[in-house]
Structure 1
Amino acid sequence: MQVPVIVLEDDPFWMNEIKHMLDAQGETVLQSTSVDAALKLQAEHPDAMFIVDIILPERDGIDFIKTARGLNPKAKILAISGGGRVGSEFYLKLADAFGAVCTLQKPFDDAQLSKALARLRASEAQA
């Protein structure tokens, strides 16, 4: 059984782009636009991999990473960010510090996403 990829992204453009890239790679994609909904999906799919946008309207991606790691210390999380007020580098370093396996700065392409997913799978093998 294939492990799903749960995408936590509030921007419809990016959700569509990421889903399209993952579909092309043969991934099973589950979509979420809020931290609470993503945490519910985590409970239903404890082995899932996550692609998590950092800047979200209510609870941010850092909050998701901290909570998801508390529920499952081996959670496989790819953090993504396009910037915001302080720039994506700051947010991605913060995500890394809180337990993201890897990070990607928006915009990214299929090859970069594929490489990041390979890193998530490698972290699964080491867990």
Structure 2
Amino acid sequence: MAKILVIDDDDTVRLSLRLALEDADHDVDVAADGEEGILRMRANPADLVVTDIFMPEKEGLETIDEIRRAFPATKIIAISGGGRMDPNAYLEISQSVGADRALNKPFDIKLLLDTVRELLQAG
């Protein structure tokens, strides 16, 4: 079982990801934005973080960069469904600042679980 932090400003996304990850026997914490996510990481570091790119307070790219610098061993999955540019462009940028993987919303929950398993096994 891994400790996973889900950071997303959408209540429905947070809840659905939490339930799916808990069903896969992970210990899951959630945060509504990057600022809250960083506070939760500092209080109780996660093995893996799933973070949205577009959020209030502290957006995803800044959050990814800060987590990567403070917790270099933590695996990070960036998720995004939009913005002013092509979502793929934001996801590519997220990988350049430290995300291990990037997924376009909406994504199949099996894809997320497979990606989580792959990253955690890679150590």
TM-score, length-scaled by structure 1: 0.88
Partner of 1:75: 74
Identity of aligned residues (%): 28
The C-alpha deviation readout for 1:58-102, integer Å capped at 9, x for no partner, is: 211000011111112222101000112212101100101011011
Q: Which amino acid aligns with 1:61?
A: G
Q: RMSD of aligned C-alpha atoms?
A: 1.4
Mapped to 1, the partners of 2:70 and 2:95 lie a distance apart of 17
Mapped to 2, the partners of 1:71 and 1:34 lie a distance apart of 17
Partner of 2:114: 115
1:63 aligns with 2:73: no
Partner of 1:41: 40
> Is 1:4–1:28's contact at 8 Å kept on the other side of the alignment?
yes
The C-alpha deviation readout for 1:15-74, integer Å capped at 9, x for no partner, is: 122112112212111010121211122122334210000011221100001111111222
1:91 aligns with 2:96: no
- Which range moved further: 98-107 or 44-53? 44-53
1:26 aligns with 2:25: yes
1:9 aligns with 2:5: no
Gaps of 5+ in 2: none
Moved over 3 A (4+): none
> Is 1:42–1:48's contact at 8 Å kept on the other side of the alignment?
no
Gaps of 5+ in 1: none
Mapped to 2, the partners of 1:47 and 1:55 lie a distance apart of 21
> Is 2:4–2:46's contact at 8 Å kept on the other side of the alignment?
no
Structure 1 residues 59 and 17: CA distance shift in structure 2, 3 A:
same
Give the 3-state SS of the residue equivalent to 2:6 in structure 1.
Answer: strand
TM-score, length-scaled by structure 2: 0.91
Number of positions where the alignment pairs a residue of Structure 1 with one of Structure 2: 123
Mapped to 2, the partners of 1:16 and 1:121 lie a distance apart of 22
